[in-house]
């Protein structure tokens, strides 16, 4: 029951779903890129990432000063895999998600180091 409640909490926020969709189809993104995409305070984005990680929907790795996140598609339990697939199907064509994709495409032309050191 605990895992289920963590997952439903994680999926119950638009910004967390936007993070999942941004990570969908990408190997990983730097937290700085996610901050730029969401246009939220770093502490707010960190809290969202904590909740997603706690629900085992995403995984993170640290490289130097930077933190990178990706979907938990390889090691996640079956419920996580199903939830991620459901989210993708449900909001793939949402106008906010489409706008995020455009914004991310522009951000990804710059290196993570350039974004994080600014």
What is the value of pTM for the model shown?
0.89
Indicate the helix (H) or strand (E) that contains 116: helix 112-117
Q: How far apart are CA 27 and CA 37, in angstroms?
A: 17
* Cα 49 to chain centroid, rounded: 7
Count the Cβ atoms, other than its own, within 10 Å of residue 98: 13
The string of pLDDT tens digits covering residues 11-68 is 999 999 999 999 997 789 999 999 999 999 999 999 999 999 999 999 999 998 889 9
89, HSE (Cβ side, Cα atoms, 13 Å): 6
Q: What is the CATH number of domain 2-109?
A: 1.10.10.10
Give the residue extent of every domain in the chain: 2-109
pLDDT band at 91 (very low <50, low <70, confident <90, very high): very high
């Amino acid at each position: 029951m605990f895992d289920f409640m963590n997952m439903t909490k994680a999926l119950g926020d638009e910004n967390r779903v936007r993070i999942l969709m941004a990570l969908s189809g990408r190997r990983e993104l730097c937290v700085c890129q996610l901050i730029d995409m969401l246009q939220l305070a770093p502490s707010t984005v960190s809290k969202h990432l904590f909740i997603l990680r706690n629900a085992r929907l995403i995984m993170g790795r640290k490289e130097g000063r930077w933190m990178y996140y990706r979907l938990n598609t390889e090691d996640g339990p079956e419920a996580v895999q199903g939830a991620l697939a459901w989210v993708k199907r449900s909001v793939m064509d949402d106008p906010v998600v489409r706008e995020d994709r455009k914004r991310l495409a522009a951000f990804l032309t710059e290196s993570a180091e350039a974004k994080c050191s600014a």
